[in-house]
């Protein structure tokens, strides 16, 4: 019964709607999925409802973009109460910050002689979780760059001229927020963040798992994190980080799944916590 615990919809920077993802999940034989949009939980309700129709279990999920002075860290949350008022209030603040940031990126692009309008970006992103990939798509559609790689290296990357940071939580704040809303916090793709020394502090804040099965990870990296999970008594999760068929990434839904046993452990942790 294959499972994928890391999927993005068009409510953040994926290209498919939550319903389309559920339908696709069924078509490719996934039995359980978690929708984990960046800083946005608006797709959960509709995904859960359509999951019932399609016979796909939908676990509530989120992926927080967080930062400390040394690294960008993504924190996944599962099984939280997606009606929790504190969670919704903080997400509202993060989303406002993301919208303001788009206007600033547009200004900086203008200084570079690149003319696009903020509304062209919002037309594809909506006003909840707009991000750099949406800006990249507009740049590509208007023929101003040829692909994602060029959009990021010329304009949007951390050191590129149109880079703008946005309001983010600290990693430990995201962990605490997920925990307070009844969820299970998991360190997303730790190989990418490359800051294992944060794990003890995040555990003190309530971290319960590591996302270890991730596309492109080498066997030695997986072994390293399995050993860390064992040492710290952390759950092991995984997912594809699917962003849609038109996202500039090659991977297809259903190509990267994790064993039932891991999902059962995650579910049991949630049941125990309640």
- Binding residues for Fe ion restricted to 171-200, rule: CB under 5 A: 188
Residue of 109, 241, 253, 258 that binds Fe ion (CB under 5 A): 241
d(CA 205, CA 244): 33
DSSP codes joined into one string, 151-215: HIIIIISTTSTT------B-HHHHHHHHHHTT-EEEE--HHHH--GGGHHHHHHHT--EEEEE-T
Binding site for ligand AMP (CB under 6 A): 13, 38, 65, 131-133, 148-149, 152, 157
Considering CB distances under 5 to 8 angstroms, the limit depending on partner class, which of Zn ion, Fe ion, ligand AMP, none binds residue 241?
Fe ion
- The three-class DSSP label of residue 75 is strand
CB of 179 to ligand AMP, least distance (A): 23
Considering CB distances under 5 to 8 angstroms, the limit depending on partner class, which of ligand AMP, Zn ion, Fe ion, none binds residue 65?
ligand AMP
Beta strands in 141-252 (DSSP E): 184-187, 209-213, 235-238
CB of 25 to ligand AMP, least distance (A): 20
Give the total of residues touching Fe ion (CB under 5 A).
4
**129: DSSP letter:** S
What residues form DSSP beta bridges with 169? 66
40 or 257: whose CB is closer to ligand AMP? 40
CB of 138 to Fe ion, least distance (A): 21
What residues form DSSP beta bridges with 3? 32, 258
Binding site for Zn ion (CB under 5 A): 8, 13
59 or 188: whose CB is closer to Zn ion? 188
Backbone angles phi, psi at 212, to 5 degrees: -105, -30
Which tokens is 188 given? 């997303």
CB of 5 to Fe ion, least distance (A): 11
Which tokens is 213 given? 């099965």
- The three-class DSSP label of residue 218 is coil
Considering CB distances under 5 to 8 angstroms, the limit depending on partner class, which of Fe ion, ligand AMP, Zn ion, none binds residue 148?
ligand AMP
- The three-class DSSP label of residue 14 is coil
**Residue reference for tokens 């090659």:** 250
Considering just the CA atoms, what is the radius of gyration of the chain in Å? 18
Query: Is 39 a binder of Fe ion (CB under 5 A)?
Result: no
Residue of 74, 82, 132, 168 that binds Fe ion (CB under 5 A): 74
74 or 82: whose CB is closer to Fe ion? 74
Contacts to Fe ion by CB under 5 A:
63, 74, 188, 241
């Amino acid at each position: 019964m294959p499972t994928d615990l890391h999927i993005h919809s068009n409510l953040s920077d994926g290209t498919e709607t939550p319903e389309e993802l559920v339908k696709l999940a069924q078509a490719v034989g996934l039995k359980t999925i978690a929708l984990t949009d960046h800083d946005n939980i608006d797709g959960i309700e509709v995904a859960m409802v359509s999951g019932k129709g399609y016979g796909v279990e939908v676990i509530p999920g989120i992926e927080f973009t967080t930062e400390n002075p040394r690294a960008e860290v993504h924190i996944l949350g599962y099984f939280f109460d997606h009606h929790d008022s504190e969670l919704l209030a903080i997400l509202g603040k993060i989303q406002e910050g993301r919208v303001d940031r788009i206007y600033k990126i547009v200004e900086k692009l203008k200084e570079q002689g690149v003319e696009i309008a903020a509304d062209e970006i919002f037309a594809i992103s909506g006003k909840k979780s707009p991000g750099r990939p949406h800006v990249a798509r507009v740049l590509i559609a208007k023929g101003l760059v040829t692909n994602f790689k060029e959009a990021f290296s010329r304009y949007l990357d951390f050191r590129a001229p149109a880079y703008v940071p946005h309001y983010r939580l600290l990693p430990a704040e995201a962990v605490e927020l997920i925990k307070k809303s009844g969820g299970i916090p998991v360190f997303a793709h730790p190989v990418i963040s490359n800051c294992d020394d944060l794990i003890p502090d995040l555990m003190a804040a309530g971290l319960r798992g590591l996302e270890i099965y991730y596309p492109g990870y080498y066997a030695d990296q997986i072994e390293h994190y399995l050993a860390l999970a064992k040492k710290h008594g952390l759950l092991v999760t995984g997912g594809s980080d699917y962003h849609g068929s038109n996202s500039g990434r090659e991977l297809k839904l259903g190509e990267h799944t994790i064993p039932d046993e891991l999902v059962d452990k995650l579910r049991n942790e949630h049941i125990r916590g309640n």
